[in-house]
């Protein structure tokens, strides 16, 4: 693979198929935005199939689409700290402490505002109804998204013992295989496109277990399987993987779900929260 992925595409352009050239033309014209798109969104935008994109990436010597996005991000302008330099919130080594903090604050505000814009009352209530009626709610995610699944479990554990968090992907797979329509899987995946995620969700689908997905990409593979999709804000570059700003929107959605859940049975939930608060208070100095 050449150092610059755009150079590699240029060298291979004349040997590409008609659909491959169509894809390449779109990438050349939209290099900055392409790195933020899911494979489904890119396929729709340039009018080719997802299989064409996968073959295109492998023809460039890459393992797949995510590898391609990373290569694309690297050939774009980046700051001296490794982040993309085409957004106002990008932090540079030359920024003073005050500037750095203000840029980080701005990123978090962008994430919250975009998540609020995507929020749909009907969809949120569907998710709350599923959580409220569930026998067990399995909070799943992998990598950085696993941290968000743990946050959801920790938040809801103050008011109910029905929520279960499992870290290991193998154990998640086994739990999904034994879940039932009376359970719910609350899955966190910013990309909505990982192999472990697909395996778990396909098993849950076979078991007819309702799936609530928190993702940035509403047209991802995970979204195709999920029963309810909640979209978080903030467009994260492949070079920013695991950014706090991307998590802030997801935390906001967890809080919306939590208070919606508590509103279903306010007396019971208030008593449970009081009991857990008193239990924890004994551990404080």
Q: Is residue 93 part of a domain?
A: no
- Nearest by Cα to 221 from 23, 41, 20, 32: 41
Q: Is residue 25 part of a domain?
A: yes
**CA–CA separation, 195 vs 152, rounded Å?**
22
Answer whether 0.85 is exceeded by the pTM.
Answer: no
Residue 128: pLDDT over 50: yes
Q: Which DSSP letter does residue 37 get?
A: S
pLDDT digits (tens, 9 = 90+) for 169-182: 999 999 999 999 99
Q: Assess whether 57 and 183 both reside in one domain.
A: no
Question: CA quadruple 210, 212, 213, 218: dihedral positive or negative?
Answer: positive
Average pLDDT of 199-222?
Answer: 94
- pLDDT number for residue 88: 61
Domain that holds residue 71: 5-75
pLDDT digits (tens, 9 = 90+) for 260-278: 999 998 988 899 989 998 8
pLDDT band (50, 70, 90) for residue 83: low
Q: CATH number, domain at 56?
A: 1.10.10.10
Maximum Cα–Cα distance across the chain:
72
For 231, the enclosing helix (H) or strand (E) is strand 228-231
Q: Assess whether 272 and 207 both reside in one domain.
A: yes
Number of compact structural domains in the chain: 2
pLDDT digits (tens, 9 = 90+) for 22-74: 999 999 888 877 877 888 889 988 999 999 999 999 999 998 898 898 888 77
- pLDDT number for residue 87: 62
Q: Assess whether 134 and 25 both reside in one domain.
A: no
State the Cα torsion 97-98-100-104 to the nearest 10°.
140
Q: Is residue 131 part of a domain?
A: yes
């Amino acid at each position: 693979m050449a150092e610059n992925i755009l150079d590699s595409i240029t060298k291979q352009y004349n040997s590409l198929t008609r659909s491959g050239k169509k894809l390449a033309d779109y990438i050349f014209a939209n290099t900055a935005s392409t790195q933020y798109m899911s494979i489904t969104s890119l396929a729709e935008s340039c009018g080719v199939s997802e299989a064409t994109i996968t073959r295109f990436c492998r023809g460039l010597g890459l393992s797949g689409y995510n590898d391609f996005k990373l290569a694309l991000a690297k050939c774009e302008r980046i700051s001296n700290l490794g982040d993309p330099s085409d957004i106002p919130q990008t932090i540079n080594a030359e920024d003073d402490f005050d500037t750095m903090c203000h840029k980080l604050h701005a990123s978090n505000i962008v994430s919250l505002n975009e998540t609020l814009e995507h929020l749909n009352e009907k969809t949120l209530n569907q998710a709350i109804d599923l959580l409220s009626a569930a026998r067990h709610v399995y909070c799943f995610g992998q990598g950085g998204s696993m941290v968000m699944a743990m946050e959801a479990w920790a938040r809801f554990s103050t008011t109910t013992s029905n929520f279960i968090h499992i870290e290991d992907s193998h154990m998640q797979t086994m739990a999904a295989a034994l879940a039932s329509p009376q359970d719910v899987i609350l899955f966190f995946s910013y990309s909505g496109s990982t192999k472990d995620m697909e395996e778990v969700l396909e098993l849950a689908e076979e078991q007819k277990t309702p799936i609530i997905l928190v993702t940035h990409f509403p047209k991802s593979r995970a979204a195709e399987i999920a029963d309810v999709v909640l979209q978080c804000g903030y467009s994260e570059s492949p070079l920013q993987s695991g950014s706090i700003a991307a998590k802030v929107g997801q935390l906001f959605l967890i809080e919306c779900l939590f208070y919606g859940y508590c509103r279903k049975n306010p007396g019971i939930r208030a008593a449970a929260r009081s009991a857990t608060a008193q239990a924890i208070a004994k551990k404080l100095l």
